[in-house]
Amino acid sequence: MRVVANLFVFSMILSLLPTLFQPTPANNPVAAQAQTATKSWLIRLIPPRPTFANDATPAEQAVMQQHYAYWKDLNDKGVCIFGGPVLDPKGAYGILVVNAATENEARALGEGDPSVKSGLNKIEVAEMRVAFVPVHHG
């Protein structure tokens, strides 16, 4: 039991290391602005049915093409960090990670998705700490 407790404490310390070495807002006004200006948010895109990835109708596929164009544009602008489908055997769903100042702003980005506007998909939003971003994905 003691080993488990020690491992837990060690993992907590490791998770805090990145924040310990960041410049403090008092010492660095640019860091202060960056810390308050943006956070990362995970948007989970929930399809209308678990089989949606395999049986979308032509009309649904057309909406999903608009969905792709919407997020690709936000990715090109640096608002959407990355995203794509999760091919879970229990049912595919989408994830998108965005930069936004508040949860409401992140939610507005998700609600601006044509597939959400049309009522085809739903979203869930949660704050996320991005440890690293894909740079060598191919």
Over residues 48-70, the pLDDT tens digits come to: 999 999 999 999 999 999 999 99
Strands (E) across 25-121 are located at 39-46, 80-86, 93-100
- Cβ distance 80 to 96 under 8 Å? yes
pTM: 0.72
- Cβ distance 98 to 126 under 8 Å? no
Tens of pLDDT, residues 4-30:
444 444 443 434 434 434 444 444 444
Rounded-to-integer distance, Cα 40 and Cα 55, Å: 32
- Whether the per-residue pLDDT at 93 is higher than 90: the answer is yes
Rg (CA), the chain: 19
Q: Which residue has the tokens 């403090």?
A: 24
Residue 85: CB partners within 8 Å, gap ≥ 6? 53, 92, 93, 94
